[in-house]
A = this chain, B = another copy of it.
């Protein structure tokens, strides 16, 4: 009969076997089978182990022991290449490649260095243990190897022609296995790993790892430009992440505290702290700031993201724009194929980009500019295009391919029949009016316009044989928001044209500042706004200054017409960042919050610290934030910011699929924070 301690020892040993089995097989994380073992303390168990199994160390611990004491590398790969001498002994670290067994007595294997940027040939002869050990190791396993340096046989070629990394090889003397790469994981450059295995995505994708290094270089260049090239220099200052809820426009994450009913909020941006720095005698601030928005996850949004945040005192928007242009120029000239175009980036007003491109972040590289047309159109044509009374009708032209109307017709038909076309077809204000200009047809295919209007359309759009003309109606109202239906159509149609090969992909970078945004926009249910009751919200945030003295007057006469000193940096249809001059006067800030936005008292109180800081003689100031993830993605030509973030959230709910976050709140944690779940 076994004593209790003996039984426990046996059970413990059987669990090692279980673990080893799992390591050999593909099993997922094992579920524990011996919960009843938890109560006896390990102190007891170890005594019986000492007595019963003094020498029976489980094999995985034996393996691990050997990996603990491994020889240090005598060289990193780069210093090896510059210092290699034949017949010297070196130790190198790295990952094994796939072994090629040339005979029973000779094998080749490449050793990839720890940076995974270089590799070296290793030759193993069946003259020592190392040869046998090598044969037990899987490709991709980390190892330390000791070997003798030898010049690679040149097959008669001139050795100076051989790239350094192919000039040398290592005759294997000893190999130290450091860990085992499981046979079950097939890892080639083609393997697609799921987000749960981000480490394998990173390990197998050179481009992804290179993107992270590139990102660090972008970071450093921005920093250098601001710290070393600007006078006075910018100073990097960290601001708190445990902030408080002060609704500026997006939804904030809360962080409950152990004090009942009290919580911090994670900041949407360091906006208020950086303004307070300006009131604190700090002339120029920047920070790579982590920001948080509890929004639904879109392709280019993450619940947490990084922005290059900066602010300058005694400065106007123009000063900020000049500074940011310097940074962009530095990045492009240092890291990109072509430098950014000379001269200041052009400034286009919000009204103009909305009219011309139907977007406040237009891709301006491919024409397809929008014009107003309703003044020229016969009433009956308008009524065919839209059910709206007196709508605005806009149009743009898509140049055809090879002057072939049939090709154009095929393209537009496919687009409108595709899922991408559905929202445009289903527009309750009328779908797009589509005309293929065709010299072989009566009125070149423009009969619905009638003779006179067709001529006007030709004058305005100057179509060629095979070109496409698109009409779209919208309600008669001032521009608000980020795009119009025809702007969305322009963008969507162009993407489809590029994807289908109907149009070449545009190249280069066309930077512009979109300026003169309205200071306020009508509140809507979809945007949380600032919680005022005036029916309007700040278009960007309530700290944005009016553009000029004349716009200050409008605050009283017609705030909805007031123009903001806000500027967005746009390139190729992407908003890289935005900024503004801020209200630096306490009374004006208070007036905006209280009288214009009509914030209730409790919301006003949320901004007291900022107003108090402005009141203490704060100088004028302006700033900007560049979306850093997006900037890097644009520079690398990546569609998604996920390709430039080491561990992005990937799921629709903002999931980190790898670590499986968010995760269930425990009852204990709820108690700690004086909370309860609602049903």
Q: What is the minimal beta-carbon distance from A289 to any residue of chain B, in angstroms?
A: 10
Q: How far is the CA of A11 from the CA of B90 in the complex (A)?
A: 86
What's the interface size class on A, roughly? Answer: 35 or more
Using Cβ atoms and an 8 Å threshold, which residues of chain B touch A251? 672
Q: Given B116, B549, B656, which contacts A281 in the complex, CB threshold below 8 Å?
A: B116
Main secondary structure of the interface of A (DSSP, over half): mixed
With A258-B294, A587-B19, A663-B606 as given contacts, are A202 and B29 in contact (CB-CB < 8 Å)?
A: no
Q: How far is the CA of A37 from the CA of B534 in the complex (A)?
A: 10
Q: Which residue of B has the minimal Cβ distance to A43?
A: B535
Question: Would you list which residues of chain A between 76 and 99 have a CB under 8 Å from chain B?
Answer: 76-79, 93-95
Q: Given B242, B256, B588, which contacts A64 in the complex, CB threshold below 8 Å?
A: B588
Are the C-beta atoms of A545 and B662 separated by less than 8 Å? no
Q: Given B72, B254, B584, B619, which contacts A665 in the complex, CB threshold below 8 Å?
A: B254
Using Cβ atoms and an 8 Å threshold, which residues of chain B touch A595? 12, 15, 42
Q: Does A630 contact B (CB under 8 A)?
A: no
Using Cβ atoms and an 8 Å threshold, which residues of chain B touch A377? none
With A12-B595, A675-B675 as given contacts, are A202 and B238 in contact (CB-CB < 8 Å)?
A: no
Q: Does A261 contact B (CB under 8 A)?
A: yes
Query: How many copies of this kind of chain does the complex include?
Result: 2
Are the C-beta atoms of A199 and B616 separated by less than 8 Å? yes
Q: Does A46 contact B (CB under 8 A)?
A: yes
Question: Would you list which residues of chain A between 273 and 299 have a CB under 8 Å from chain B?
Answer: 273, 276-277, 279-283, 290, 292, 294
Q: Which of A165-173, A227-235, A378-386 contacts B (4 or more CB under 8 A)?
A: A227-235
Are the C-beta atoms of B613 and A199 separated by less than 8 Å? yes
Q: Does A617 contact B (CB under 8 A)?
A: yes
Could you name 25 residue pairs across A and B whose Cβ atoms are closer than 8 Å? Answer: A29-B612, A42-B534, A46-B557, A64-B585, A76-B232, A95-B281, A178-B314, A179-B585, A181-B617, A182-B615, A185-B616, A198-B276, A199-B279, A216-B236, A242-B292, A242-B649, A244-B656, A244-B659, A244-B660, A244-B662, A256-B665, A259-B662, A263-B664, A273-B647, A674-B677
Known A42-B534, A212-B237; 20 more pairs at CB < 8 Å: A16-B591, A19-B590, A29-B604, A32-B600, A39-B533, A58-B591, A64-B552, A65-B552, A66-B549, A67-B584, A72-B319, A115-B283, A181-B616, A181-B617, A198-B280, A220-B227, A238-B645, A242-B292, A246-B659, A608-B660
